[in-house]
Amino acid sequence: MVGICPLRNPIREYAWGSRNAIAELLGQPIPAPRPQAEIWMGDHPSDPSRARCRGDWILLPDLLRESPAEILGESAAARFDGELPFLFKVLAAARPLSIQAHPNREQAREGFERENAAGIALAARERNYPDPHPKSELICALSPFSALCGFRPIAEIARVFRELQVEAFETEVDALERDADAAALGRFFSAVWNARGDRLTRAIDQAVKRAERRSDDPAARWMTALAALYPGDAGVLAPLFLNLVALAPGEGMYLGAGQLHSYLEGVGIEIMGNSDNVLRGGLTTKHVDVPELCQVLRFEPGEPEVLLPREASPGERVFKTPSDEFELAVLQVRAGTPWQSARSRGVEILLSVAGDVTVADRTAGESFKLEHGASVLIPDSVDRYELAGEGVVYRAGMPKR
């Protein structure tokens, strides 16, 4: 039988990562030798975790192949083909991530099969769909967290282009004001993002020069910062299109498929569908595919909702989202009052971010100390577990519908 399994998780090093945040969480020397961007907790084939089981460290995909129903539960094992339905992360951004969006289920499957048929290697730079899964996601801030997310109202987009006198796209702004619907927004976005050469350079120069005079406008400040990091990149104009969102620690934001976004800076807990499908549109040295990005985008203006977790039981608060693949909860463990899990929960991963907590399977008579930054896999077959001590634990699991 598979019991509670401590995890060893890969750290992803990207240029936008922090040299302090993840190292501090894991109790490693600061600063880290290179930028550390993400900790991945899960079985994604690109970089899976290892689980301590039967005295050995086993790759999580291998463990799941051996005991899918025991770990996931019979229903989830059948529904998700013996794989974890979610990918759990710590994200630490010291500088902006790419402008990007993720596909829905049908788009992911079709794109994956299309690129396979074209003979594009899974690890190829130009690969857009390394797996056939959708990727909605939830970010929960551990530190003050800034992001660009979702299109601003159409009238507002046209207004800021007028105010900054971006003459290079005057004809397109006229058309956007005239039609002012989702199709017009899609045409306008495509025209700006597909612009090249002198036209794009002039537009960015015009917008940034005037944005520099608006130091009281956070979106204008971010535009000048992006211009310094990625000169000549269409993504510099993203703050004119997208809502600027500021999350306080403990607040969250859900991003559905097709929602254009960029995380700008901050540290957060992220949970998503078990996928690494990313369509990028700029602010990156990685592969950019604007036509494919436009195929998955939803050109629906609207300000994203800032989420707070709801109390589910004493010490347990849960973020409610539309996702069928994942659910994120915050567990506040208090001294002298152990927290007990429910039965029939499905597979879970726990991550300790503060304090001194012990996780115990009382039926099996085993327990593990969850040190700062430590994580464990809780299989569905574990009847019930208990958290004791004092601290904060984030729990990734599946929603109960």
- The whole-model pTM stands at 0.94
Task: Please indicate, yes or no, whether residues 279 and 332 belong to a single structural domain of this protein.
Answer: no
Residues tagged active-site: 280
Question: Are residue 390 and residue 289 in the same domain, yes or no?
Answer: no
Boundary of a domain, candidates 284, 307, 330 = 307
Q: Is residue 274 located within the same domain as residue 352?
A: no
Judgement on whether residues 20 and 111 belong to the same structural domain of the protein: yes
333 falls within a domain: yes
330 shares a domain with 303: no
In a domain, 192, yes or no: no
| Residue 337 and residue 287 in one domain | no
β-pairing, 99-101 vs 137-141, is unpaired
Whether residue 50 lies inside any domain: the answer is: yes
Domain presence at residue 226: no
pLDDT per position in the chain (401 positions), as tens? Answer: 788 999 999 999 999 999 999 999 999 999 999 999 999 999 999 899 999 988 899 999 999 999 999 999 999 999 999 999 999 999 999 999 999 999 999 999 999 999 999 999 998 999 999 999 999 999 999 999 999 999 999 999 999 999 998 989 999 999 999 999 999 999 999 999 999 999 999 999 999 999 888 878 899 999 999 999 999 999 999 999 999 999 999 999 999 999 999 999 999 999 999 999 999 999 999 999 999 999 999 999 999 999 999 999 999 999 999 999 999 999 999 998 999 998 778 999 999 999 999 999 988 889 999 989 999 999 999 989 999 999 999 999 999 86
What pLDDT, on a 0 to 100 scale, did the predictor assign at position 132? Answer: 93
Q: What is the pLDDT of residue 364?
A: 83
3-class DSSP string for the chain? CCCCEEEECCEECCCCEECCHHHHHHCCCCCCCCCECEEEECCCCCCCCEEEECCEEEEHHHHHHHCHHHHHCHHHHHHCCCCCCEEEEEEEECCCCCEEECCCHHHHHHHHHHHHHCCCCCCCCCCCCCCCCCCCEEEEECCCEEEEEEECCHHHHHHHHHHCCCHHHHHHHHHHHHHCCHHHHHHHHHHHHCCCHHHHHHHHHHHHHHHCCCCCCHHHHHHHHHHHHCCCCHHHHHHHHEEEEEECCCCEEEECCCCCEEEEEEEEEEEEECCCCCEEEECCCCCCCHHHHHHHCCCCCCCCCEECCEEEECCEEEECCCCCCCEEEEEEEECCECEECCCCCCCEEEEEEEEEEEEEECCCCEEEEECCCCEEEECCCCCCCEEEEEEEEEEEECCCC
Q: Do residues 318 and 309 touch, judged by C-beta distance below 8 A?
A: yes
Decide if 329 is inside a domain. Answer: yes
In the chain, how many domains are there?
A: 2
Answer whether 41's CB lies under 8 Å from 375's CB: yes
pLDDT for residue 216: 85
Residues 301 and 319 in one domain: no
Question: Do 261 and 314 fall into the same domain?
Answer: no
pLDDT at position 344 is: 74
In a domain, residue 138? The reply is: yes
| Domain end position, chosen among 271, 291, 307 | 307
Position 305 scores a pLDDT of 94
pLDDT at 58: 96
pLDDT of residue 383: 87
Write down the pLDDT at residue 112.
Answer: 96
What is the extent of the structural domain holding 275?
A: 10-148+246-307
Does 224 reside within a domain? no
Q: How far is CA 71 from CA 51, 60, 65, 76, in A?
A: 12, 10, 10, 9
Pair 266, 378 in one domain: no
pLDDT of residue 131: 92
Last residue of a domain, one of 307, 328, 345: 307
Give the model's pLDDT for residue 401: 65
CATH of the domain at 133: 2.60.120.10
Q: Is residue 227 part of a domain?
A: no
